[in-house]
Structure 1
Amino acid sequence: MNMSRRTRGSAKPLLALNLLAGACVTAWAQTTPATPAAPAADLGRVEITGTAQTYQPPPTSAATKTDTPILLTPQSLQVVPRAVLNDQKALTLTDAVRNVAGVGEDFGFNGSAQPLLILRGFQTTSMTASGNMSGMSSYFINGVKVMGVPLNMANVDSVEVVKGPASVLYGRSEPGGLVNVVPKALPADPRLGLEQTIGQYGLSRTVVEGGGALNADKTLLGRASVSYDKGGSNRDFVVNKLAAFSGTLAWVPDADTRVALTVDHNAQKYRNDFGIPADGDRPVKLPRTRQYNDSPDLSSITSDSVLLDAQTKIAPNWTLKGRVVSMRAKTREVDVWPYRENLIGLDSCDNSAGLTALCRYYFYVRPEGRTKLDQVTVDLIGNVRLGGLQHKLLAEIDHYSTKKTGDVFFTQINSVDVFNPVLGSAPPLDTSFPLPVDDYSKWTSLTLQDQIAFGGGWHGVFALRHDRTEALFSLAPGLEPNKKSFTTPRIGAVWEFMPNQTLYAQVQDSIAANNGRDANGVALEAERARQVEIGWKQSALGGRLNTTVAIFELVKRNRASRNPVTFATTTEGDARSRGLEVDAIGQVSPQLALIGSYTYLDAKVTRDGQDPAAEGKRLANTARNAGSLWGRWMFDEQWAAGAGVFLQGQRQGDNANSFQLPGYGRVDAMASYAFKAGGGKGSVQFNLKNVFDKVYYSGSHPLVKDWIQPGSPRTASVTLRLDY
């Protein structure tokens, strides 16, 4: 079905706006001499919240694992800095990444603190790497891949989005890209911050954080933060609570050596929002509060992690880095799943004459689960001159293992009427018939990378990664794990054809080692992908304004598909994603800061061994046109205001293309006032999300018509921040 007239019309102005902005930036840059990047203090911005308020992105090594500028990286890489997160009051990871082209939202099963994302048309979690129905959230925290771990946004300094395959450096990633969350840094000077946010629908977040040098010569640094987040929701029975602690102790004896120990504790309690169903080709019109998960108990996860990170120069041009990570978690998954299919036949939910009822299940829930993650990584980085050329070398050895234990349960309970449900009395989980599960994976990897400066503005990157994997997810314990070995290449080139402007091209493969079995118990083939990407980057206004334009084609082979009734999985399909992305962010002037994006995306199935009729259908939750534009204006050192629009075109609600999610435009706004507070600084900030109270749908499950996530209504919040 075609995009609605209103949405179809909005895409053209958005495209024109991005093209116009790009042209203006180019013209401005050509008349502005190239200068080194200016620090935030040069912009005249008073630091009011203990973090930099410039929109200029911080340096990142996410795409190369070396100190390579974004301008010289042959891949689209975007960073959402803390200033944007502060201004927009981004309380979830989805709030942060909506500013980045090519990133969307899928349906997740673990509450708002564990979102499931889509990059360039593909989920960040493989269907065959997370068990039934593929809802486990996955992202990177400080370079470590985690699954099913709640994210404490109060401790986030920036969010990095690496577009396209990153398996050469990280191994365990999906082809659309990865999202890496960077925690707040250690301060050298004493700091204490207090923050309180309150808002509609019970929204509340309290943050206490502080740190600084612990000795006179500032070689011992410490930082700690405590937060409690009660996510507000207008939805029936939905609960999202997160209590978190993070503490870091670092020894920095000189500029060449650093050893840091970080301890994190997260305790999340939630009752997941399963959304609403579709009837025909659109979501059912229901009260905005309606959802059908009324489990008598809350689901929960309590995680504890320890990270030991060290680096030192072992020679003038050689640096050795090491990292050891250990995480343990206790989980309780007891949500009630509404689903129109009558899988067991114990209750009546006959929808043959149209949608009237939903069956409900405790669907492979795990009331007493344990998760563990361990990783050891050693990097050797060198800057050497060989054959008359400058080389930046990386050699990495990595071992990563995860395991999840605990019996699962499958039980059908009472159905509900879609339009007149009787809720609030769901029976507790019956634990009479446990199903044991094997669920684990191991990766042992070697990576070699050479970044070469050829001269004349030309740079190249050549990398290989070899992985040995062992993985299994099975409800029939005792099966042999899937064992595979892979070698993954990466080749890229960058040409700096004029100061602060580059053209780049890259070919890169990715791999996702499958841990599942098909209906006959045969190990599934690994999902593979290859992407070709070309692009243009510019750093204007002395490095304060950065733009990336990328064109790409990404093909995923052996794509997983699952029967929605039998849940049998196969890898007999291919999908192709191609598109154009525009990202821009920066501090245009001391007063004006901007972040914007535009995406044109054509993502569809190109082969399906089970269902040839699926060929040509669009991938779920991928709008052909999408974009965003947010700006903040500093009137003076005290007053600031900002506003932005976030646009999505029409999306297919599932991979069968049986229903559509209408396009929408959502407007947010903020205003803040900074003041002196004794010997410190303070600020009051007012945020209004969904200013015009637009009814929209943020995402849906790609396999099920009954889990469509409505967007939040108009929501106001106010934040008081004090820094000393």
Structure 2
Amino acid sequence: MPAQAQARNQALPSVTVIGERVDYRAPDSSTATRTDTPALLTPQSIAVVPQAVLQDQSALTLTEAVRNVAGVQYDFGFNGSMQPLLILRGFPSTSMTSLGPMSGISSYYLDGSKVMGVPINMANVQSVEVVKGPSSVLYGRSEPGGLVNVVTKPVSASPHFGFEQTIGQYGLSRTAMEATGALNAEKTLRGRVSGSYNTADSIRDFVEDRLGNFTGSLAWVPDARTSVTATLDYSNNRYRTDMGIPAIGNRPADLPWSRQFNDSPYLSSAKTTTVKLDATHQLNETWLVKGRLMRLRSDTSEMDVYPYRGDYGMGSAADQTCSGTGNPLCRYYFGVRPQGRYKIDQANVDLTGKFQLGGLGHTVLIGFDTYRADKTGATYLQQVSSADIYNPVLGSTPGLDTSLTMPDVVDDYSRWTSIYVQDQVTLGHGVSFMGALRHDRTNAVYGSPGTEANKLSFTTPRLGAVWQFAPKQSVYVQYQDSVSANNGRDTLTGASLGAERARQLEVGHKIELREGRLTSTLALYQLTKRNRGAQVTVAEAPYYNVVTIGKARARGVEWDVAGRVTHQLSLIGSYAYTDTKVLSDPAYQGTQLPNVARHTASLWARYTLNDQWLAGAGVFAQGQRQGDSANSFQMPGYARVDAMVAYRFEFAAAKASLQLNVDNLFGRKYYASSHQYAQDWIKLGSPRMAKLTLRVDY
């Protein structure tokens, strides 16, 4: 335990120490500006889910973390529960335009670096940040709805050891250990190691998730001006995806909670190694330089069986009985990749200066970024037996027979080189201005070997202003352009596809109450994305062509509040009104964007009963959502209630707690998400489930 913490324990009642340790206040975040600008002076909506909330809610997946944030919803995620596909302000966090296998597409940021298809080890997470709206001027390659940044636990000079064990229903178990501290007397060398293993089955037939993870970091901090940290992270994720249920008519089929149709004899897997090198050096009183190198390699095997109502006539005559109504369902090894490899190489340098010029305060950011992503490995398409959804015979599906189908081999890569500059100007009287500009040069391919790369370049602006009209209140306005993806070329004509672009106008109000312990952000926005992918069916079923001619709009209101209301009561809550419309599309014009409820809300509160006992509960609600891009079916709205109780106690020289969580307390059956291009992958929410967690911290 740090010496400062020991001193606080001696001077203050233990209940105060416990209260501070599990405060719901959002920690400082530099993600929205890449500078140390306070949230109150940032002209953009930001929500942070701190570690205290993650612990109290026993959040074991990223989806469970971001459900606390206004405007975040969910698409159908492949690759098990550890790799979700999120929707922010109406748009998925991954481009759904680019062709390619649907698996391995989950995208988020890890300590500010974009990764895709990588499982998330929540045991190593310090907080989860959600930056609303476009962020590509500073980060590039990001979808316009916003970005989710996972902040991992830091290396500390103070010694700490932690152990956590969670057990629950349906085979749930998570074991996690961590240790950090100085490695020499001068505390210039510091280290951190952590390891965890998650295992979970499901009420859903055949579904499994397994995730093992190890992280090791070594930091060199010779003085207050310099730090260098090297980190090695390895994860082994094995899973069988819950492929959901079909829609019958305009509603999800009325099936038992357990039923799903992916009985692949394989567990899919992703073995991922990430190496990062971070360096920071204060050049002088004015200038600070930061740099990062990241190298990621993932060996994958994606082997799920996909149920689908369309019959491509590739099986035996007895199996070609799928009428297209949703029952029976044909099933396929659809674009499976038995042996794949995914690579990311990224380098980034930021130079930040703070100075006075012309009587005005300036915070200047100059940055350089290069990013390379490659995916390799042949994919296969093979039809297997169909299933009657009301009386399926499953559990004996044969393995993939590569002799019965031709492999599909494509070039699949993306290259980006970018420079950006930003100036935050303090004008006086509580007014500040932000201007930023980014220039990208990029080339990308998704096509048959030898396809010519699609080379594009573009310049995007960002403008914002903040007026802090009271000591703890501000209003802001922001305009930003965005670039999300370079999709290569039209697979039929070879023509260059336009990059996906967007623009947003946002205004908002921020306030900090109770000496900053309670924060609120209210935002209004209009976001329009152009060059969206539009599917064009081709004669060679089951294939389709994608062209970038679509346009869609989302606009709405979002409110996020979090912090401590009283000494005993902390809360985190949100509300979002999201109105979406497809403005231009050859097939779906005038429809609403799928998986986006017009109204969503959440409220979680935790009450400290005394020095030892804590209790909490919350409700998470979504209205009715369209299930697919055609709006051919709807998922009904729902409200799910969770609850927890925790007992904190001393254990030898350690602080310990025993915590019981019950998710979906009233056993409400609900539908969490679907996939925008299919009527057969509707994912059910979790049933009532109890989890018991023991934590010990030295």
Task: Tell me, yes or no, whether TM beats 0.5.
Answer: yes
In 2 relative to 1, CA 582–299 (structure 1 residues): closer, same or farther, beyond 3 Å?
same
Alpha-carbon shift at residue 113 of structure 1 (Å)? 0.6
Q: Decide whether the 8 Å contact of 2:142 with 2:485 is kept in 1.
A: no
2:651 maps to which residue?
A: 677
**What is the alpha-carbon distance in structure 1 between the residues aligned to residue 631 and residue 593 of structure 2?**
8
* Residue 497 of structure 1 pairs with residue 469 of structure 2: yes
* Residue 631 of structure 1 pairs with residue 608 of structure 2: no
User: SS state of the match for residue 581, structure 2?
Assistant: strand
**What is the alpha-carbon distance in structure 2 between the residues aligned to residue 391 and residue 74 of structure 1?**
16
User: SS state of the match for residue 402, structure 2?
Assistant: coil
1:512 maps to which residue?
A: 484
1:260 maps to which residue?
A: 229
* Residue 148 of structure 1 pairs with residue 125 of structure 2: no
User: SS state of the match for residue 94, structure 1?
Assistant: helix
Given the alignment, which residue of 460, 466, 470 partners 1:488?
460
1:13 maps to which residue?
A: none
**What is the alpha-carbon distance in structure 1 between the residues aligned to residue 664 and residue 401 of structure 2?**
41
Alpha-carbon shift at residue 584 of structure 1 (Å)? 0.1
* Residue 76 of structure 1 pairs with residue 49 of structure 2: no
Q: Decide whether the 8 Å contact of 1:266 with 1:303 is kept in 2.
A: yes
**What is the alpha-carbon distance in structure 2 between the residues aligned to residue 555 and residue 227 of structure 1?**
41
2:4 maps to which residue?
A: none
User: SS state of the match for residue 372, structure 2?
Assistant: strand
Given the alignment, which residue of 581, 598, 608 partners 1:604?
581
In 2 relative to 1, CA 42–84 (structure 1 residues): closer, same or farther, beyond 3 Å?
farther
Which residue identity lines up with residue 387 of structure 2 in the other structure?
V
Alpha-carbon shift at residue 219 of structure 1 (Å)? 1.6
Between 51-60 and 301-310, report the one with greater CA deviation.
51-60
1:372 maps to which residue?
A: 343
Alpha-carbon shift at residue 42 of structure 1 (Å)? 8.5
In 2 relative to 1, CA 266–139 (structure 1 residues): closer, same or farther, beyond 3 Å?
same
* Residue 447 of structure 1 pairs with residue 416 of structure 2: no
Q: Decide whether the 8 Å contact of 2:314 with 2:382 is kept in 1.
A: no
**What is the alpha-carbon distance in structure 2 between the residues aligned to residue 458 and residue 46 of structure 1?**
37
**What is the alpha-carbon distance in structure 1 between the residues aligned to residue 564 and residue 101 of structure 2?**
45
Residue by residue over 1:663-711, the C-alpha shift from the partner in whole angstroms, topping out at 9 and shown as x without a partner, is: 0000000000001100111100000000000010110000100000000
Residue by residue over 1:162-194, the C-alpha shift from the partner in whole angstroms, topping out at 9 and shown as x without a partner, is: 000000000010000000000012222211111
User: SS state of the match for residue 89, structure 1?
Assistant: coil
Given the alignment, which residue of 548, 551, 562 partners 2:535?
562
Given the alignment, which residue of 515, 518, 524 partners 1:545?
518
1:584 maps to which residue?
A: 561
Q: Decide whether the 8 Å contact of 2:581 with 2:590 is kept in 1.
A: yes
Return the TM-score normalized by structure 1: 0.92
Unaligned runs of 5+ in 1: 1-38
Q: Decide whether the 8 Å contact of 2:377 with 2:409 is kept in 1.
A: yes
Given the alignment, which residue of 441, 445, 451 partners 1:472?
445
Q: Decide whether the 8 Å contact of 1:517 with 1:569 is kept in 2.
A: no
**What is the alpha-carbon distance in structure 1 between the residues aligned to residue 125 and residue 200 of structure 2?**
17
1:4 maps to which residue?
A: none
* Residue 424 of structure 1 pairs with residue 401 of structure 2: no
2:617 maps to which residue?
A: 643
Residue by residue over 1:106-149, the C-alpha shift from the partner in whole angstroms, topping out at 9 and shown as x without a partner, is: 10111111000000000000023462447610000011100001
**What is the alpha-carbon distance in structure 2 between the residues aligned to residue 47 and residue 127 of structure 1?**
47
**What is the alpha-carbon distance in structure 2 between the residues aligned to residue 302 and residue 256 of structure 1?**
36
User: SS state of the match for residue 707, structure 1?
Assistant: strand
Q: Decide whether the 8 Å contact of 1:92 with 1:153 is kept in 2.
A: yes
Aligned runs of 1:232-247 on 2, under 5 Å?
A: 232-247=201-216
**What is the alpha-carbon distance in structure 1 between the residues aligned to residue 108 and residue 674 of structure 2?**
19
Which residue identity lines up with residue 310 of structure 1 in the other structure?
A
Which residue identity lines up with residue 591 of structure 2 in the other structure?
K
Structure 1 runs of 4+ with >6 Å offset: 39-44
**What is the alpha-carbon distance in structure 2 between the residues aligned to residue 318 and residue 146 of structure 1?**
29
Residue by residue over 1:506-555, the C-alpha shift from the partner in whole angstroms, topping out at 9 and shown as x without a partner, is: 00010123224333232311111000000000011111101000000000
1:167 maps to which residue?
A: 136
2:692 maps to which residue?
A: 718
**What is the alpha-carbon distance in structure 1 between the residues aligned to residue 544 and residue 66 of structure 2?**
31
In 2 relative to 1, CA 130–399 (structure 1 residues): closer, same or farther, beyond 3 Å?
farther
Which residue identity lines up with residue 281 of structure 1 in the other structure?
N
Which residue identity lines up with residue 383 of structure 1 in the other structure?
K
**What is the alpha-carbon distance in structure 1 between the residues aligned to residue 104 and residue 548 of structure 2?**
18
Alpha-carbon shift at residue 722 of structure 1 (Å)? 1.0
1:531 maps to which residue?
A: 504
Which residue identity lines up with residue 497 of structure 1 in the other structure?
F
* Residue 694 of structure 1 pairs with residue 668 of structure 2: yes
Between 339-348 and 315-324, report the one with greater CA deviation.
339-348
Alpha-carbon shift at residue 344 of structure 1 (Å)? 3.4
User: SS state of the match for residue 128, structure 1?
Assistant: coil
User: SS state of the match for residue 283, structure 2?
Assistant: strand
Which residue identity lines up with residue 367 of structure 2 in the other structure?
E
Unaligned runs of 5+ in 2: 1-7
RMSD of Structure 2 on Structure 1 (CA): 1.7
Given the alignment, which residue of 396, 404, 407 partners 2:367?
396
User: SS state of the match for residue 95, structure 1?
Assistant: helix
In 2 relative to 1, CA 277–516 (structure 1 residues): closer, same or farther, beyond 3 Å?
farther
**What is the alpha-carbon distance in structure 2 between the residues aligned to residue 326 and residue 298 of structure 1?**
26
1:457 maps to which residue?
A: 430
Q: Decide whether the 8 Å contact of 2:322 with 2:330 is kept in 1.
A: no
1:34 maps to which residue?
A: none
Q: Decide whether the 8 Å contact of 2:226 with 2:281 is kept in 1.
A: yes
1:666 maps to which residue?
A: 640
**What is the alpha-carbon distance in structure 1 between the residues aligned to residue 233 and residue 566 of structure 2?**
38
Q: Decide whether the 8 Å contact of 1:111 with 1:240 is kept in 2.
A: yes
Alpha-carbon shift at residue 417 of structure 1 (Å)? 1.2
Residue by residue over 1:387-417, the C-alpha shift from the partner in whole angstroms, topping out at 9 and shown as x without a partner, is: 1100000000111101111111111111111
Q: Decide whether the 8 Å contact of 1:484 with 1:513 is kept in 2.
A: no
Alpha-carbon shift at residue 567 of structure 1 (Å)? 2.2
Alpha-carbon shift at residue 354 of structure 1 (Å)? 4.2
Given the alignment, which residue of 585, 596, 601 partners 1:622?
596
Between 551-560 and 339-348, report the one with greater CA deviation.
339-348
Which residue identity lines up with residue 358 of structure 2 in the other structure?
G
Aligned runs of 1:120-519 on 2, under 5 Å?
A: 120-129=89-98, 131-133=100-102, 136-347=105-316, 348-352=319-323, 354-432=325-403, 433-474=406-447, 476-518=448-490, 519=492
Q: Decide whether the 8 Å contact of 1:107 with 1:135 is kept in 2.
A: no
Alpha-carbon shift at residue 66 of structure 1 (Å)? 0.1
2:3 maps to which residue?
A: none
Aligned runs of 1:58-73 on 2, under 5 Å?
A: 58-73=27-42
Q: What is the number of residues matched between the two proteins?
A: 681
User: SS state of the match for residue 148, structure 2?
Assistant: strand
User: SS state of the match for residue 201, structure 1?
Assistant: coil
User: SS state of the match for residue 30, structure 2?
Assistant: coil
Residue by residue over 1:452-509, the C-alpha shift from the partner in whole angstroms, topping out at 9 and shown as x without a partner, is: 00000001110000000011112x1110111100101000000001111000000001
Q: Decide whether the 8 Å contact of 1:108 with 1:135 is kept in 2.
A: no
**What is the alpha-carbon distance in structure 1 between the residues aligned to residue 16 and residue 151 of structure 2?**
23
2:5 maps to which residue?
A: none
User: SS state of the match for residue 374, structure 1?
Assistant: strand
Which residue identity lines up with residue 575 of structure 2 in the other structure?
Y
**What is the alpha-carbon distance in structure 1 between the residues aligned to residue 185 and residue 569 of structure 2?**
39
**What is the alpha-carbon distance in structure 2 between the residues aligned to residue 523 and residue 428 of structure 1?**
38
In 2 relative to 1, CA 335–42 (structure 1 residues): closer, same or farther, beyond 3 Å?
farther
**What is the alpha-carbon distance in structure 2 between the residues aligned to residue 616 and residue 515 of structure 1?**
24
Return the TM-score normalized by structure 2: 0.95
User: SS state of the match for residue 544, structure 2?
Assistant: coil
**What is the alpha-carbon distance in structure 2 between the residues aligned to residue 43 and residue 553 of structure 1?**
49
Residue by residue over 1:559-580, the C-alpha shift from the partner in whole angstroms, topping out at 9 and shown as x without a partner, is: 1122475321111110000000
Alpha-carbon shift at residue 58 of structure 1 (Å)? 0.6
Which residue identity lines up with residue 487 of structure 1 in the other structure?
T
